[in-house]
Copies of this chain bind each other. A is one copy, B any other.
Amino acid sequence: MAMSGLRTTRMIWSRGLKAPSCHLQCRPMSAMASVQQTQHRETFEPEGPRVVTDIPGPRSKQMLQDLDQIQNVGMVKFFCDYEASRGNYLVDVDGNVMLDLFTQISSLPLGKSEVDLFHVTYVNYVNGYNHPAMMDVLKNPVNWSTFVNRPALGMYPPGDWAQRLRSTLLAVAPAGHQQVITMGCGSCSVENGLKAMFMKFMRVRRGGAPYTQEEMDSSLRNQLPGSPNLSVLSFSNALHGRTMGCLALTHSKWQMKVDFPALDWPIADFPNLRYPLDEFKEENRKEEERCLAMVEDLILKGDQNGMAVAGIVVESIQAEGGDQFASANFFQGLRDITNKKGIGLLMDEVQTGCGVTGKFWAHEHFNLTDSPDVVTFSKKMLTGGFYNKDSFRPQESNRIFNTWVGDPSKVILLEAVVKEMTRSNLIGQVNVTGEHLLSELKNMQARYPSILHKARGLGTFCSVDFCDTETRDNTVNKLRQRGMNTGVCGTTTLRFRPALTFLPRHVDIFMGHFDAVLADVTK
Contacts A/B (CB < 8 Å), 18 sampled: A25-B142, A67-B162, A75-B401, A77-B155, A81-B158, A82-B158, A85-B145, A112-B145, A121-B141, A185-B185, A187-B188, A191-B244, A194-B244, A202-B259, A220-B254, A222-B265, A243-B245, A245-B245
Residues of B within 8 A of A219 (CB): 254, 257-260, 262
Residue A418, interface by CB 8 Å? no
Of A359-367, A392-400, A440-448, A457-465, which binds chain B? A392-400
- Tell whether A118 pairs with B147 under 8 Å between CB atoms, given A104-B156, A159-B80, A185-B403: no
> Does A264 contact B83, Cβ atoms closer than 8 Å?
no
Interface pair B157/A80, CB less than 8 Å apart: yes
CA A194 – CA B260 in complex, angstroms?
9
**Is residue A270 contacting chain B, with contact meaning CB distance below 8 A?**
no
Q: Flag if A404 contacts B107 (CB, 8 Å).
A: yes
Asked if A209 CB lies within 8 Å of chain B CBs, one says no
**Known contacts A261-B198, A379-B403; is-contact A413 B148 (Cβ 8 Å):** yes
- A203: chain B residues within 8 A (beta carbon): 259
Interface SS of A by simple majority: loop
Of the candidates A134, A159, A256, A396, the one having the most CB atoms from chain B within 10 angstroms of its own CB is: A159
Question: Can you name the residue of chain B whose Cβ is closest to the Cβ of A149?
Answer: B82
Compute how far the CA of A195 lies from the CA of B211 in the bound complex, rounded to whole angstroms: 33
A258 and B216 contact, Cβ closer than 8 Å, known pairs A159-B81, A242-B402: yes
Cα distance A259–B310 in the bound complex, in angstroms: 11
Q: Is the CB of B159 within 8 A of A141?
A: no
A398 (CB) vs chain B CBs: closest residue: B255
* Complex Cα spacing A166 to B69, Å: 11
A396 CA / B255 CA spacing, docked (Å): 8
Interface residues of A in 4-23 (CB under 8 A from B): none
Are A228 and B80 within 8 A (Cβ)?
no
A179 adjacent to chain B (CB < 8 Å): yes
Whether B257 lies near A227 (C-beta < 8 A) is yes
B157 x A242 contact (CB < 8 A): no
Chain B's closest residue to A217 (CB) is B254
In the complex, what residue of chain B is closest to A65 when comparing beta carbons? B162
CB pair A117 B145 closer than 8 Å: yes
Q: Which residue of B lies closest to A22 (CB)?
A: B142
**Is the pair A118, B105 in contact by a Cβ cutoff of 8 Å?**
no
- Residues of chain B within 8 A (CB-CB) of A145 are 82-83, 85, 112, 115-118
Q: A144-B118, A219-B262, A255-B397 are in contact. Are A112 and B149 (CB under 8 A)?
A: yes
Residues of B with C-beta under 8 A to A401? 75, 242, 256
Closest to A234 in B: B222
A63 at the B interface (CB under 8 A): yes
Kindly list the 9 A-B residue pairs having the minimum CB-CB distance in the complex, ordered from nearest. A74-B397, A25-B142, A244-B245, A118-B141, A227-B262, A216-B254, A222-B262, A219-B257, A115-B148
Given A75-B154, A156-B80 in contact, is the A25-B141 Cβ separation under 8 Å? Answer: yes
Complex CA gap A199/B220 in Å reads: 27
Complex formed: what's the CA distance from A257 to B396 in Å?
12
A259 to B195, CA, bound (A): 8
Interface residue A78 (Cβ < 8 Å from any Cβ of B): yes
When distances are taken between beta carbons in the complex, the residues of chain B under 8 Å from A67 are 157, 161-162, 165
A513 contacts B by Cβ under 8 Å:
no
Complex partner residue of A243 from B134, B155, B188, B263, CB under 8 angstroms: B188
Q: How far is the CB of A509 from chain B (nearest CB, A)?
A: 20
In the bound assembly, the distance between CA atoms of A148 and B79 in angstroms comes to: 17
Minimum CB–CB distance for A312 against chain B, Å = 15
Is A230 among interface residues, defined by CB-CB distance under 8 A?
yes
Partner of A226, one of B152, B223, B254: B254
A186 at interface by CB-CB < 8 Å: yes
- Cβ-neighbour of A75 out of B148, B242, B397 (below 8 A): B397
